[in-house]
Each structure stands twice: as C-alpha cells, then as structure tokens.
Amino acid sequence: MSAAAAAAAAEAMDTLARTLDSAATSSAGPDDHALSPPSFEVVVAVGDAFEVLSRALEEGDDDLEAPRRGFVARFARERAQECLWVVADALSNDEVLDEFVRTGVAARLVSSLREGILERPGQTSSSSSSSSPKAQDVNPYHLYCVQCLACMGEYVECLGPILKDKGVEVSVELLRRWRDRPDALGVLLHLICSLLAHKKYAQLFVDHGGVGLLLDLGRTSDVSMCLFGISSIPEALEQACNLGQGVCERMAKVALDQMSSGIDPARKNSALFLAEALKYQPVVECFDDRNGLRATLNLLRASQKFESTRTEAIIAYHLLSVLRAYFRAKLGVLVSGIQPAKLPLNRAKAVDMSSDSLGFIMSLAKSDKAISLWFACEVWPPAKNFLESSGVETMLHFVQPHAIGKYHSETVISVFEIMQVVTLSHEFHVKLESSTIPTGAGSRRSTVEILLTAATKYRSYPDPQVAVRALEVIVNLVCLPEALVDLVVDPGVQPMKHHSNCCHACGHGQGLKGALVESLRKTYEESRMLVRANNGIKVLLDLLRNRCHDLQNSETMSLLSLQALLGLAQDPSIAQVLSKLQLPHLLSEMLRDPNSGHGRTSRYSKASPSLFVQNFRRAALKLISVLTGSDLADTISTSEATTSALQKIEKSSIVASTEISYPQRELFQLIHDHLVAAGMEATAKSLEMEAKLVEGKEDEKGLMNTLTFPDKHGVMVSVKAKPEKIRLHLKPRPRKGGSGKRGLDNEPRADTGMDDSREVKRAKQPKRHEAAEVSGGKKNSRVKSKLDSIIMSHLKHQHCECENPISVLPPFSLMEPHVCPTAKFKEAVENTRPNVTCRLLNMQSQAHPWDQKCLDRKLNKHFVHSRFRHMRTVKDDTAFTACSFMGNCQQLVVGTDSGDLRLLDTFSGEVVDCFDSHSSAIHSLCTMQPQAQNGWQPLLLSSASNEVVLWDTVELKSQTTFQHVYDGSFDSFGTRIVCPSSNRKLAKLFIFDVCSGRSSPVQSLEDPARNGCGRYNADLHGRNAAHFGHEDKLVLWGSLLWDLRMSTPIHRYDRFTDGGRSQFHPNGLEIVLNSEVWDLRTHKLLRSVPSLDGANFVFNHTGDVVYSWHTGAAATEEAFPGLPSLGRHPIQTAFKVLDAHDYRDISTINIERNVVDLSIAPEDNVLATISIDPMDQYASSCAVRTYEIGRRKPQDCDSDLEDDDDDDDDDDSE
C-alpha cells in the first residue's frame, strides 16, 4: 500500500473519530444526559474504516516514511479501542442487530475473518516477525469482526454463513493466536459462547479440539462461560467427556478452580457446568480424585457469610445443584453395579438424573433385596465423607427462612433431595438426626425438627415440592426398606437367599447377622422416637388430610404422610396411639370417600387407574392391618376393608393390642397326647420325664379345682374346690381326642387301665396360672417357632370371634376354647327405672344389684347436670375477665380488664368489696378451698400477664407478689404455687412457697431442649397454666410432665391439635391434654374426645363431671380489642357438660353469648360464667351470670322469682 493510501486511511479514521465525538456531544439534550446509541450506518462506516486500516497494516511497506508509519500505528493504538466501544454501544441496540442480520453483514464479516486468518496466515506472521513489539497488536478489523459476530452469534440466521465460511476453524485458530492477548481473548470467548448455543457448532467445536484449547487458557474467567455453553448441549458435552480421562481431569480441575476464584460469573458458570458434567462417570471419578465434595462444602460454608446478597444466594443454589447431581450420579452408578439388569448404565452415556429416574432408583433401593442389603451391610463412601465434612449442618443452614430470598424454595428442595439420598444408608441416621444448627435466640434446632417444620409450613413456600421432599426424607428415616422387613421385623423368620453380588459385598452369604439386625432395629426405633418427640404424629396426620391447591402435590403429600405413619406404626407404642386416634376409621373413610357421590369417582377409589391411587390404597391397607391386627392382603376387595363399621375396626384394634400368651406346659401335654395316640410311647415317655408333665398334671388338677366362672352379670368369680385326694396315673393309655378334656363336675373318669398309681395331697393354695418350666427348674420364655406361630394365630382367631373382646387377659388355655367374659349391660339397662325417684329408692335397697346401682348413679348424674337454672346477671362499666368462687357458693370473686378484683354476693348480685390488684387485665383467678375441719381460710391467686399476686382473703389485701410469671396454681394443701415464666422464649416453671411469704422461687423446672424457641413455646403451651398432680409429686404444663425430684421433664406427651388446656384428672390416673386422654402410669393414649378439642375445661369438685367451653379471641386480649371482629359461633356461645368417667356428652347449654370464663362452687350446686355479646362493640356487654345446677326453671315458692324475671327482661333488652 502506498504512503498516500495509508495517509488517506488515517485521515479518514481521524475524521470519523471527530465526527463520532461531535455526534455524541450533540445528541445529549438539556433534559436527557444519556447518549443515544450510534446508528447502523455509523457502525458500518467504522467497519469500513477498520478494513482500510487493516489492509494498510497488512500491506505495510518498509520504504514507508517513518513519520507516516508511526502516525498510522499511533492511530491504531489510540483510536481503535475508542471505536470498538462505540461499536459495542451500537450493537446493544436490538434494532441495529436486526439490521445487521437482515442485510447479511454477518456473512461478509465471517468471510473477511476467513480470508485474514486462514487464507493469509503467512503474511500476518511475516509482518509480525519483522515489526516491532508494538506492531504485533491485534488487527483492529479482526477484533471488530469478532465483536460484531459475538453480538449476533445467537441468531439462527447467522449460523449458516458462519459454518459455510469455516467459522469453527476461524474461532479455533483465533484461540491459538490470541491466548496471550487478554483484551482480545475476552471478546473471542464471548463469540464462542454465543455460538455454542447452536448444537451443530458446539459439536464441531469439540471435534476440532476447542475444548483442549479452552482448558489451556487456565484461570481465565471467561473459560467457564464457554464450558457452560458446551454443557448446555448434551451431545457436545457427551463428546467432550469421552475425549479421554486427561480431558475430564482438566475440566474438573478448571471448574473447581473457577468456582473458588472469587469472580461471581465464573463461579456461577462453573457450578452450572459441573451440575451437567457430573452425569458422566469419568467426570464423577475426577471430581472424587480432586476431593470435589469437600471443596464444594467449603464454598457453601463461605457463602453463608454473604448470604444476604442476591448474587451469593444464586451461587449457593447452583453449588447445591452440584452436590445434588453428584449424589444422584453416585447412587445411579452404585445401583447399576449391584443390579445391572434392572438399571443398565453405559459409561460413555449420561446418567439419567430426572425426577422420574430418581424416584425409580429410590424405589428400587428399597424394594430390591440385594440393594437394600448392600446399604445395610456396607458403608457408602459419599455419605460418609458428606457427614464427616459437617455437610448436614451446612445444608440445614440454607433451609432457614431468612437465608435466601427468591431462590429459597429451589434451594430447600436441593437440600432435601441430597438428604434423601444420604439417608438410604441407615448407618448415618444417628449422625444426621443429631445434627443441629443454631437459631437467632441462642438455641439449636435438630434435623428432624427442621424437616417437620418445612413439611408443616408448605403453604409459605412458592413451591409445595418443599414439603414433598421433606416428607421423603422422613420416610427414609422411619420406614425400613420393604426388602428387609422380613429379616428385621420378625426375628423368627429365616432370611431368604439374596443376590450373590450383595452377598459378596456384605462378606457373607447367609443374610443379615444378629448384631446387624439389632443395629437396624435400634436405628429405626430411635428415628421413630425422635420424630414422635418433635410432634411428628400431629404433622403427619395434618398432611394426610391436607387439601393443597396443587392436586398432584396434595396427593403426593398424602401418600408420603401415610407411608411415614406406616413406618411409625411399627413401634407398638405409636401404633397404640394411632389406633386410639381412630386412624383406621379415617383411612377407611378416605378410601370410600363418601363425598364422591352423584356419579363422581373418588380420587382414592379403585376405579381410578393412577399409580398414586394404587400406592395409597396399598399403604392404607397395610396400615389398617398393622393397627387392627387383621391380615389384609394387597388384593383385598374394597368392601372388605373399607365398608367396615367403626365398631368392627375398634374390635380389631382391641384384638391387636391384646398380649396373647399360653402355658407352655399345656403345649407339651398336647404334644405328649399326640405322640401317645400315634403309638410313639417311648418318645412320649421321654417328653413326660424331661418336661415333668407328672407334676404338671398335679398342678393342672389343682387348677381345675380353682376356676373362674362368670356370674349372672358376666363378672369373673373365683371358685375354689375343697381339698380332696385324687389318683394321678403315671402311665396314661392312649386316648382319643388328643387333649384329654376333663369334666368340671364330679363325674366319673374313664379308667385308664394302668397299674402304677399314687395318692397326692392337694396343695392348699395352688397357683392360678403356671409358668412353663423346663428341666432344671428354670422358667422358659416363649419359644418362637412355626408351631408357636400356628398356635398364636389360632388363639388370636378365637379372640377375634369373641363378641366383646378385652385387651387384658390371663394366659389362654389350650385345653378349653377361649371366650371373653361379657357383662349383661342390656339387661341392666332394661331393669333401670326411667324415673329419678324410683332410681333413688332402688339405690337404698340392699337387694338392688351393684351394677344397676352404678348405672342408676350415672343416670342420676346425667339428670342433675343437664339442668341449669339462671339465677343472676351482674354487669358493670368495666369488662369482667375471670371469676372464681371463694370459700363457698355465696361469694364470687371476679377480675376486670382494668386489673381490679371485685367480691360479689352470688345470690343478690351486689358488690361486697372492690380493690386494686394489677396494673393490667386479670387473666385468671385461682382459689384454694381448704378442708372444713382444719379451720384454714381460702387462698386466692390473681394472675395478670406478667405477675401473680397471693391474697389474704380475711383482710382482703395482697400478701406476696410474684414477678415475671403468670397463671399460678396451688397444690393440694395450698402450701406451694407453680407458675410458668412469662418469657415466651423460656420453657420454665417456678415453684413458690406460700408459707414463707418470699417472692423468690424455691425450685425451678425447665426444658433445656426448648429454651430459646420462643415461637415454638408460644404455640406449644400458649397461655396454659401448670398444675400439680394428685399427690403433689408431679407437675404438668402443656405436654410436659415433671417430677419434682428432677429439674427436667420426665415425659413429653404427643400433641395432635393446637390450643386447648392440659390438666390432671381428679382420679389421679389420667391426664387430659386438649382432646386426648393419657394414662398417667403407662403414658398410653386411652381415648380421644372431640368435644374437648381446643376447649378450656374444668372438673367439678367431686371429679365426676367436666365442664368445657370454647373461648373466643376476646378472652386473651386485654380490654377486648378484637371484640368488633367476633361473631356468634354456636361452639363459642355454649358450654358442654361431659361425664368424667367415659367423656360422653351430658348436655350442651347455649347462653347465646361468647363464654370467657367459667367457675363451679365448691358444693357443686352453683355455676358462674363470664360471657360477652360479640355483636356489641362495647366492653360493658360483658357480664357475670350464675346458674343453679340441677334445676331447670323456677318454682312458685321461690322468693327470687320476680328478680329472675327482671333479669331476663334486661337480657332481652340487650
């Protein structure tokens, strides 16, 4: 090129630069300081100028004058970058890009690159070698072409010209040339990344060695962008992963280095690449060789420090995706190695990581015996490394609600999917369950608690899959794999032969050893207890009945909850609780679905062909079988399992809970008789001597003389025969019938025909039930064998045939058919007089049967407590909040919202005295009624939100004030007070001594596991008061039971519903916790009372009647701020009366006002309520109403008849 041409090109570029500067300056208006992007013509002009300059540089002449050559080079250095910025700004406009594509500029640019890079490489190299270092700069026109193509690379219209003009070869060649030019390399990598969006280009790029060139660039941040582009095309990624082990190692190294580089885009792109590349086994192996699991966990822990930023949240999500892909790949490879026929894998192909594939692998790992045995016998290295690196604690941190914003649901799902795979190995259950994370309140939360919380609050997540994944982890923790149920649950069953690969992996070929079986059983028992301790039964029951807006997720949650309950039911104590909660009846109703009438198909019915219905029905039938003890096959018809009445299910539950046993000696006797009948007298003689059946017959005869016979009412009465001499034959001859049944009367026995005999004196007090003994005098426990299972099945069938089976029975006799005693209640009811007067007269008669007297007493109790006569209504300007009788039925103490105490006359309604007590509203009043003979005065406790005051009822002044507590309660003698702490973050109780008069506690009881869990304690206990037990040795607060000799709870009862009150039953044998009644001695659930669900209740002073009422929102708010929003609900405007013996409803009294508090007089003859009209917006509508118990309406002789009429008129006028 001549000097004139070069000078002309330089002058043209200089003129163009000045034009761009002036255009940019003039484009900024007075109100718009932003520069408008250059037009398409400007960009084309810049390109033409670059082309002229490029040719001038390529055709440079050594004879060119130095000043002019320096001018051109200086311009290339100073103006080229400025013009490229202008081009980049222009190409950010979609209109300019569309014009480029429409006019076919891309083809001309690629053609220019091909000509300059591939067809004339020698000229460039020669010129470069002869020029100075400054002359070796990147050709501006080539850089311009690459920059333009990078912006247009994702357009499909550009792909054809690029491939036609060898665009792949050009990009590969530029990677070799520009590897040391960071400014140009970044633009080139952006071009390659945009072109990798096309499948054809990506495959050609890998074939031409582009992956190796990218990996040679080392820690260049934009390399991760290209790797991510390759991973987005599965075919290209497969080609890259099959290039050789060396390439896979370098890819894993570069990706891990980029993830820890500190450059956010590089970290994100590398994580996305690894999440896809880990589908291939060579990459997984290289990831393990470089300890990628530990490195990823370290990066996750580092990201927790900056989790509040959006970028760190996104990167943490992608890092979790890497771990999820890693564990899925490792699980797929492991399962394929054990069972290649069921899950064939090709090393050169990707492992299927879809949700459906994961579900299939998980089901295969639980149902296939070889895989299940491998997980039971071996230690899985990925899970071991994960737990040893504190992976669970790291994962749980991202489940916290404050951790990640927009990506929170996706992150939590990834965490739970990782834990689902890890929990397949039972050896790590304990480590996983013991992992905790700190909370903001200073306490710690366990893994199971976090899982249950996530499952419960699924509505707070945008994606309900969070609850589904949490439930899948819980199912793994509590459910033994189906393939191992026969080997672990029933120790008497011999393990079946399993796959040879598993035998080799486990190191034995005889199945599970005894120690391993015990370890499995213990592990799952601990998991079930931990889930139960964290209120898991309530959570699972709620999810079983959930109705999510997403039908598919709702069905999945119901199925998983049912499977988790089936796993929990393997524990006998939990099965007993579930049976008492009528879960079999609920499942039968769900299977029948009575709401699916009018031709609609039930979503659980057999007519639905979905896989969910089949799995749900199978799990439901199994759970019903476990809880009721009935053997339901999988192919059972719907009518047999789902049309059973509640009584039939209850009967099966009683049979299932009965502990059946039988005397071993009777079994030996039956075997002996069978051997004799078969002619094997020598064997029978040997058995007779070894089992000492001679002595057994002696005791058996004694047993026959001390028998129990049901009387006329079905009660078992012991009948002892007189001592007599009997003749015991040592050599009985064979008898027909086998068992040798003997008559109970003095009937002559058949002569045995034996010569040897002796007389035996009968013992004075023979044992009623003999334990089986063997030689040596040692007692032998039940022998588990095939014969034993046949006998147990036979006895259980006999028990099922009983009309009214009972759960507590003596050992069954093998000589007599079993029949449960039945009481003749129907006859007793028929003989009961319907008139109360007749019943009272009959009860005074000595000839009246005892059972009928009990029934008459019960009917009289129902008669009395179903009649209430309204006596007085007391109103005031202030609102009443609590009431309690003091001393007797004549004085009633009421508390107000202003903190005052008022003493009322019950019969006249007048205010006897009024005095200040608290600065805030009074929440509860408690009185101690001493025995009449000791001469003590009644004691009174008034409780506000943050203090409790003890009052002197004689002088009506406060004695002691206890701060920072609420809702105090007395013990049986009124010498101690127990109060919960008013700090909701502390699960703590304080016990104060009344006699000392000190305001400091003498003892404190706390639950360290729940301290600091403020929200949890508020939901668990609410404003529940603590109570002393029957003998003042136990304290109950909510679901926690304390022994005063210990500072921590001795038992925690399950809660199945929220709210309600907890209290000891006056009989001292039961605990009423909301709607559940628990046995205080065995901690077993006795029954569930729906009438008490969410209600406040109080026993009368004789302990035979329960009064319950549902309090509205106004009862717990000071000054009733929520009053205008209340309504008259039928449940809240009435109180119920229940029988404290069987918890059956006696009556429901509707007072048409919301009940706030209720109190009963010590004589059980007067009842007082505080009620409020929810339709009245003023607190003055709150009134005290008294009722006389046992009277329905006033009589003519009553002196207060007119007053009652006036009160009724006042009530009507409200």
Is the pLDDT at 693 greater than 50? The verdict is yes
Give the separation between CA 873 and CA 1086, rounded to whole angstroms: 40
8-34 confidence digits (pLDDT tens): 555 555 655 554 554 455 444 444 444
Is the pLDDT at 132 greater than 90? The verdict is no
441-471 confidence digits (pLDDT tens): 667 788 899 999 888 887 777 778 888 999 9
What is the CATH number that goes with domain 931-949+960-1052?
Answer: 2.130.10.10
> What per-residue confidence (pLDDT) applies to 509?
41
Other Cβ atoms closer than 10 A to 95 = 11
Tell me, what DSSP letter sits at residue 1141? T
0.85 exceeded by pTM? no
> What per-residue confidence (pLDDT) applies to 137?
56
> What per-residue confidence (pLDDT) applies to 1065?
94
The per-residue pLDDT of the chain, averaged, comes to 75
Q: Which residue has the higher pLDDT, 1037 or 342?
A: 1037
Tell me, what DSSP letter sits at residue 965? B
Residue 274 CA from chain centroid, whole number: 32
Q: With bands split at pLDDT 50, 70 and 90, how would you rate the model's confidence at 474?
A: very high
Give the separation between CA 8 and CA 25, rounded to whole angstroms: 26
Residue whose pair of structure tokens reads 């069978």 in the numeric block: 674
> Region 501-507: what's the mean pLDDT?
44
User: 3-state DSSP call for residue 871?
Assistant: strand
Contact predicate 919/897, CB 8 Å: no
C-alpha distance from residue 162 to each of 114, 171, 173, 197, 222 (Å): 10, 10, 14, 13, 22
Contact predicate 623/562, CB 8 Å: yes
> What per-residue confidence (pLDDT) applies to 313?
83
> Region 242-251: what's the mean pLDDT?
89
Joined together, the tokens standing for residue 725 give 């001499």
> What per-residue confidence (pLDDT) applies to 987?
80
Which CATH architecture group holds 865-929+1075-1214?
Answer: 7 Propeller (2.130)
Contact predicate 320/270, CB 8 Å: no
User: 3-state DSSP call for residue 1200?
Assistant: coil
Is the pLDDT at 3 greater than 90? The verdict is no
Q: Residue 235 corresponds to which amino acid?
A: E
Instruction: Tell how strand 1183-1189 and strand 1166-1172 pair up.
Output: antiparallel
